Amino acid sequence: MASLNKQPCAEKFKTMIGGQALIEGIMMRGPEKDAIVVRGKEGLAVDVKPRKLRPEKSLLNLPLIRGVCNFFDAQVTGVKALTQSADLSPDAAEEEPTKFDLWLEKKLGSERFQSVIIGVAVAMGLGLSILLFFLLPMVVSSFFDQWIHSTLWLNLLEGVVRMAIFVAYMLLISRMKEMKRVFSYHGAEHKTIRCYEAGLELTVENVRMQTRLHPRCGTSFLLVVMILSILVFSVASSVLLALIPGLEAMRGGFLYRLIMIVFKLLLLPLVVSVSYEINRLVGRYDNGFTRILTAPGMWFQNFTTNEPDDSMIEVGITALQAVLPEEEGADRW
């Protein structure tokens, strides 16, 4: 917690460049390129690829649509980057492919085989997250609906259960030896972006003096999703009960619980979309209102980021420099 007293240098601008901590590395995503930098056995391995951007006038770029699209894109890109970093990391073990892997690769081809693996990993990750952080709290709180008749209080209970599970999960994985290093690379990513936004030269010394907390963190985004779901689920559930009068009479029954759970799961894309727009807002502006919005997430980053060493900072600097746009200022919000 040594960085709690550190303050970011005065920002000269805000960048749209963002990143993700990997296994012994960092991925940075710029307006034009993605870069994966991993410290492997033979030094820094750098992989830079152009981003496949949607047409500017695409319907998928409209507010409340772009959030879900970008969320899924980030999941796929993140899993690919993690897989690549695992292969390049110093501790990567050479494993012989199984007969099933060889058969599947032969049938699908190398590229399609990789796409299938990535797709399965993303689906499993999202499925586990929905099960653990949304479905489980919904099921737990639903058993209290015969005693708690207020929709607001019932959703507040559900939110408390959800937050408790989320915080416990993050605290548990933060204690894992492997994750401590990942969280240190997470800190290096934030500090590097902070240094860049302050207009300072990207040196280890300048980056080291920055705070490891950043308002556009993915952890903050997830926390916003958790908190916002309480409000959205409460309002939407009240509207549903008003529109279907007979539903209230079913309270406490299995069918009622099933309807409410399915209804809330269908609202998740809306929650993700609104959370994405909030994340864009706090990434673009810095005022009293945005600081209030980011305060919970900034506090929580004290557990999901660690102070990096100089070698990790070097990875962050290399990754950020690799995605800087050719036209200066093209990455500004």
DSSP state of 132: I
| Average of per-residue pLDDT across 293-313 | 92
pLDDT at 60: 85
| Average of per-residue pLDDT across 51-72 | 86
Whole-model pTM? 0.85
Which of 43-57, 211-225, 269-283, 307-321 is predicted most confidently?
307-321
Amino acid (one-letter) located at 44: L
pLDDT at 49: 93
User: Which parts of 198-287 fold into alpha helices (H)?
Assistant: 204-208, 218-243, 245-249, 254-284
Summary mean pLDDT of the chain: 87
Is the pLDDT higher at 64 or at 34? 34
pLDDT at 251: 82
Distance CA 265, CA 103 (A): 37
Of the listed ranges 39-53, 87-101, 199-213, the least confidently predicted one is 87-101
pLDDT at 17: 95
Q: pLDDT category, 290, cuts 50, 70, 90? A: confident
| Average of per-residue pLDDT across 219-244 | 90
Residue 322: name the closest of 1, 53, 38 by CA. Answer: 38
Q: pLDDT category, 199, cuts 50, 70, 90? A: very high
pLDDT at residue 329 above 50?
Answer: yes
Please say whether the beta carbons of 81 and 22 come within 8 A: yes
Tokens representing 173 are 């994985």
Domain boundaries of the chain, sorted by first residue:
2-323
Is the pLDDT higher at 125 or at 94? 125
Please say whether the beta carbons of 35 and 27 come within 8 A: yes
pLDDT at 1: 40
